[in-house]
Amino acid sequence: MFWKIQGENCTVYILGTLHGSSENILNLDKEILNCFDNSELYYSELSKSLAENLMAFPMDYIGDFFEPVYQIPGEFSHNENKLISKIIGEDVYRKFSSFHPFLLYTLLSGKKENKGENIYSVDKFLIDRLGDKDYQGLDTEESFKDSLCPGSFDDYIALIKEFLKKYPDFKEEEELEKDLISAYLEGDCRKFSGILDKIYTPENNDLTEYYKSFNEKVLSARNRLWADKIKIVLNGDKDVFIFAGAAHFCGRNSIFEILANEGILVIPAGL
């Protein structure tokens, strides 16, 4: 999933990225790597400075979630509480039981028993390739924070309940991930977008508001912001390489749809 936009005095290359359980996603074409190595400016989702600050000072971004003001166990049945304790341990659950349920959901999501594969990231692969070179961010600090926790308290309680219903069988999710990776490797944006629609469609009505918020804060709002940044670099005189989540460039309300509506032509990079 590699595209380019020709500016008056520069070329902007755009690589849609993915992270997943297949190492094949890291097998980038030589021409992509040549374009990457020869570019003069780089943009990832987060700038180098913001990414480093996130690693050094994570509480700056998620500290509010650790305010001990909740009574999480009261939101679940006896059997649900027993299962949570079984999955993460009684002591851990006790520590997390007064924090925002976003944290508990994040912790539980990492405990899927049949998810033992390594996770590979195109973004990390390219950042490692940059070495000491600087890279800018498509996100602002504010847009990044907004995307961290797109749901409400009730949304995350509903997500945890949905997780517990499925646990430990996540075969359907695993099949969707395999299909998504396959579409990515094929460079089939339409197929990729269709699979994302399935992933982001709620299975029960309790999650409808969450996915509305997710699509706005994680996708649509950032797409508008990122499209504006792409328009800015198009007016420059340096070749630019942008690498960010492929979901932002495919389907309805994508960055490319926004740019097309403003008369900006995005074409496959010819590989």
- 74-101: pLDDT as tens digits: 999 999 999 999 999 999 999 999 999 9
Q: What pLDDT score does 203 carry?
A: 77
Q: Is the pLDDT of residue 194 over 90?
A: yes
Number of domains in the chain: 1
Rounded CA separation 181/119 (Å): 12
Q: Residue 262: which of 209, 224, 236 has the closest Cα?
A: 224
Strand 120-121 versus strand 41-44 pairing type: unpaired
**pLDDT exceeds cutoff 60 at 115:** no
At residue 57 the predicted structure's pLDDT band, cuts being 50, 70 and 90, is confident
Distance CA 205, CA 12 (A): 41
What is the percent of the chain where pLDDT is above 90? 79
Structural domain including 139 reads 2-268
d(CA 65, CA 59): 9
Instruction: Give the pTM.
Output: 0.92
